[in-house]
């Protein structure tokens, strides 16, 4: 049995309270991981195209104050 299948089986066997705790932990874990990936992409310049697009639209007068 591969690792993912083993995890799936173990998760399926959890009682409701344990499953709730796992789900809460996983949501937090996933959000932290996503934030870390986003920060790494930003630091690597992979999101610069978004900044450049926003600045171009602003300079072209296509933006408004919030």
Give, in degrees to the nearest 5, the angle at Cα 20 between 19 and 23: 85
- pTM higher than 0.85, yes or no? no
Distance, in Å, from the CA atom of 47 to the CA atom of 4, rounded to the nearest integer, reads 32
The yes-or-no verdict on residue 1 having pLDDT over 90 is no
Length of the chain counted residue by residue: 66
Mean pLDDT of 13-18: 98
Contact 19, 8 (CB under 8 A): no
Model confidence at 19, pLDDT cuts 50, 70, 90, reads very high
């Amino acid at each position: 049995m591969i690792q993912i299948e083993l995890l799936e089986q173990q998760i399926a066997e959890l009682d409701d309270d344990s499953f709730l705790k796992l789900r809460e932990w996983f949501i937090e874990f996933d959000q932290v991981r996503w934030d870390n990936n986003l920060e790494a992409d930003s630091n690597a310049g992979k999101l610069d195209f978004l900044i450049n697009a926003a600045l171009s639209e602003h300079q072209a007068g296509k933006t408004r104050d919030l």
